[in-house]
Amino acid sequence: MKAKISEIFRSIQGEGKYLGVTQVFVRFAQCNMDCSWCDTDFVEKEQLDEVQLIERIKALIQGCHSVCFTGGEPLVQIEFLERFLPMICKEDIKIFLETNGTLPKELEKVLKYIDVVSMDMKLPSSTGCDEHWKEHKEFLSIAVGLRKDVYVKAIITQETNNLDFLTAVELISDVEKTVPLIIQPEFSQRDDLMQKCQEYLYLASGQLNDVRIIPQVHKLMGWQ
């Protein structure tokens, strides 16, 4: 079995709690969602087996904080990850998963191999997609239950409504109020969203211990 990969590169983490650390990024092709604002190119460019992918990562990993599996949605390719993650963990490489948080059963199969979970909370009014509150709550509960280093990102757009945002905040609070929430303005609209994001920061801070506004810094800096 081979992984369907879009790209592999070394760069700086430009989003979320680990902003600024150096990582090797492995972008998996395929996604189970079609968010209205998504501009990521996750078209399949190559297929790699477990040994080939480990060698590609090892060639870039020196001095890096971790390897970041992103997408697309990495957990769509769960059969590959179930074989691959136990192998790469033997290399003493820290594993960082960027995920849309909608595939809890798949997460449960591989979570023991993952060090950091960066989970998106897909607000329906932001994404233009169906709601995934049940899946999000199960997903976050699984990650918190295994005491993983987990944080949540919520993408805010002009279309984001207060009800969706407050539902997300309540969901996180019900699971574990110490889980950090990163409010991330959609990049193309960021200049017009700061007041809205600040209002959301105030609303969320009443229920959660750690709420931050962090834009996509890698795009501001021109990083890959």
Q: What is the reported pLDDT for 2? A: 97
pLDDT computed for residue 1 by the predictor: 85
- Type of residue at 174: D
Contact 213, 201 (CB under 8 A): yes
- What is the pLDDT, as a whole number, of residue 174? 98
* Whole-number pLDDT of residue 224: 59
What is residue 68's predicted lDDT score, i.e. its pLDDT?
98
User: For residue 92, what are the domain limits?
Assistant: 3-221
Q: Which amino acid is it at 189? A: Q
* Cβ proximity of 103 and 139 under 8 Å: yes
Number of structural domains in the chain: 1
pLDDT tens over the chain, length 224 residues: 899 999 999 999 999 999 999 999 999 999 988 887 777 777 899 999 999 999 999 999 999 999 999 999 999 999 999 999 999 999 999 999 999 999 999 999 999 999 999 999 999 999 888 899 999 999 999 999 999 999 999 999 999 999 999 999 999 999 999 999 999 998 777 778 899 999 999 999 999 999 999 988 767 666 65
**Cβ atoms of 164 and 125 closer than 8 Å:** yes
User: What gap in Å lies between CA 98 and CA 73, rounded to an integer?
Assistant: 8
Q: Report the CATH number that the domain containing residue 168 is assigned in CATH.
A: 3.20.20.70
Q: In terms of Cα–Cα distance, which of 58, 71, 64, 60 is closest to 27?
A: 71
Under DSSP, the state recorded for 189 is G
* 101 dihedral zone (left: phi>0; alpha: psi -120 to 50; beta): left
